[in-house]
Structure 1
């Protein structure tokens, strides 16, 4: 399996997913820092990776992948300074995301 480098938080989430669902650890054959690199490597080799479906669709990949069951759900954070000159624009974006994904404040 191609996977995020061990120092990345995504690596910890993926390992926790497999452990919590009593799956044997997956042998990592290649480490990468971006989903683009993982996707490219998987396309050139007989190897798999865990990548977001939205990412694959944005890259024009509509088939050739399987969905995880149960799905892997991850927390998402937007980090910014309150004194950022674009704070008002950021708030509009945050409010939109909260509405779309039904997230309460």
Structure 2
């Protein structure tokens, strides 16, 4: 039992982070070395006022593919044929009741 009590403190006491002291070199939250102002998505600067952003070569096929997939889902899924077991059983029951004359 004594071994289990000493295990966590002994393991943490001997732990040393790789690379030495994190604060000496600059840790994760320390002052950065950025040269540009942060805040632009994908590090793109906005175009000057009055000019439109130029699309890259991959953007038009990407948006067209997503539009086609969205239309396929919005139109294709609701118009698919009904093939559930409940629908089949309902049609079969109606047919058998019609044959019996009820």
Relative contact order, higher structure (CA 8 A, sep 6+): 1
The answer to which structure has the higher strand fraction is 1
TM-score by length of structure 1 reads 0.17
Larger Rg: 2
TM-score by length of structure 2 reads 0.18
